[in-house]
Amino acid sequence: MAKNIGDMKAEPPKILADSDLKSDTKSINFLIAGYSRYQCPYVWLRSDAKELIDFEENQVFDRDSPLDLESMRYWRNYDIRPWDVLAEILTNTTLKPDENPFKIDYSFFEKIPVEESVISIGAMLDFLRKVYLRHYVFSDTVITALAASIMGD
């Protein structure tokens, strides 16, 4: 049964590998989906690694109910963006709050064609700029790590 958030009732989309995700207890898997009908995204927990998550105590972890996230509650009233949703998920699942949840795997860019790498790096930098400008608790860590990698540290 889906949980009502506001006036909307959202059912999670079906995933082919849903049974595989359910049995994975070493990692945390979320499904983020947006429906034009509801005019906002929803997030579902798709794995059984609840002990790795630090959400509010009254949070219901039902696989068929979207998570009750602050970013979802304020989606319609404030300038909430998809990266705000991602940031909220990451800050509630990162073990060390001072870690950079957006740590870059530079080896990925070396494995793809140069053309794709240029576009991907540009998109990543734009995304990280948006993250930094939102002044999350980890924003300084994101920009410091990026600057260090540019300087060759």
CB 83 within 8 A of CB 32: no
Number of domains present in the structure of the chain? 2
> Does the predicted TM-score (pTM) go above 0.85?
no
For residue 127, the model assigns a pLDDT of 87
Is residue 26 domain-shared with residue 76, that is, in the same domain?
yes
Q: What is the pLDDT along the chain (153 residues), one digit of tens a residue?
A: 444 445 445 555 555 456 666 566 667 778 888 878 877 888 887 776 666 666 666 666 666 778 888 888 888 888 888 888 888 887 777 656 567 778 888 889 899 999 999 999 999 999 888 888 888 878 888 888 888 887 775
Neighbours of 53 (CB within 10 A): 16
Is 41 part of any domain? Answer: yes
List, in sequence order, every residue forming a beta bridge with 32; answer none if it has no partner. 43
Using left for φ > 0, alpha for ψ between -120 and 50, and beta otherwise, residue 115 falls in: alpha
For residue 20, the model assigns a pLDDT of 61
Is 14 part of any domain? Answer: yes
Is 48 part of any domain? Answer: yes
Is 122 part of any domain? Answer: yes
Phi and psi angles of residue 40, each rounded to the nearest 5 degrees, phi first: -165, 160
Is residue 16 domain-shared with residue 55, that is, in the same domain?
yes
Give the structural domain span for 102.
94-153
